[in-house]
Structure 1
């Protein structure tokens, strides 16, 4: 494997891990929004937003697994949850 290819793979892994961390943060924001709203229309919006954020997160996890980012992903998720 060439050095250039390895660098690109590393950047791709890092980008996916960063996207997963961002998706985790987005889920927390959506959960907080859901907890704060009381208007029935906003509750619907909050539910749809939360489900969309979760869907993106699950997609990114699946992509990471397909690309073999398991160990780095696990370590990154543990670090993100500790914060």
Structure 2
């Protein structure tokens, strides 16, 4: 589970993908529980619990997309700087 004490920048892409995968599984599991609940009180609980898991998954997915965009932009900038240095030394 992702600890909120650790900054997002400290996570690797694999860590973030694993957290996203686990959140998706949690959401699916809670949907399954909702589908099997028969007691009205449990149905209410299952709905709220399922919605919370869904929102968690959506949040992590959004963060993953933002992180990928930022990481891609930094990588692109580093490649451009490297290419510019190569051109200036060879040209």
Tell me which interval the TM-score lies in, with the shorter structure as reference length: 0.5 to 0.7
Partner of 1:15: 15
Partner of 2:5: none
How many residue pairs align between the two structures? 61
Q: CA RMSD in A?
A: 1.8
Which runs of 5 or more residues in structure 1 are unaligned? 1-8, 70-83
- Counterpart secondary structure, 2:12: helix
Partner of 1:74: none
The structure whose RCO (Cα within 8 Å, separation 6+) is larger is: 1
Q: Which stretches of structure 1, 4 residues or longer, exceed 4 Å deviation after superposition?
A: none
Normalised by the size of structure 2, how large is the TM-score? 0.61
Query: How far apart, in 1, do the equivalents of 2:11 and 2:66 lie?
Result: 16
Which runs of 5 or more residues in structure 2 are unaligned? 1-8, 70-91
Deviation at 1:42, TM superposition (A): 0.3
Query: How far apart, in 1, do the equivalents of 2:28 and 2:40 lie?
Result: 21
- Counterpart secondary structure, 1:26: helix
Q: Of the two, which has the highest radius of gyration?
A: 2
Alignment of 1:27-66 (within 5 A): 27-66=27-66
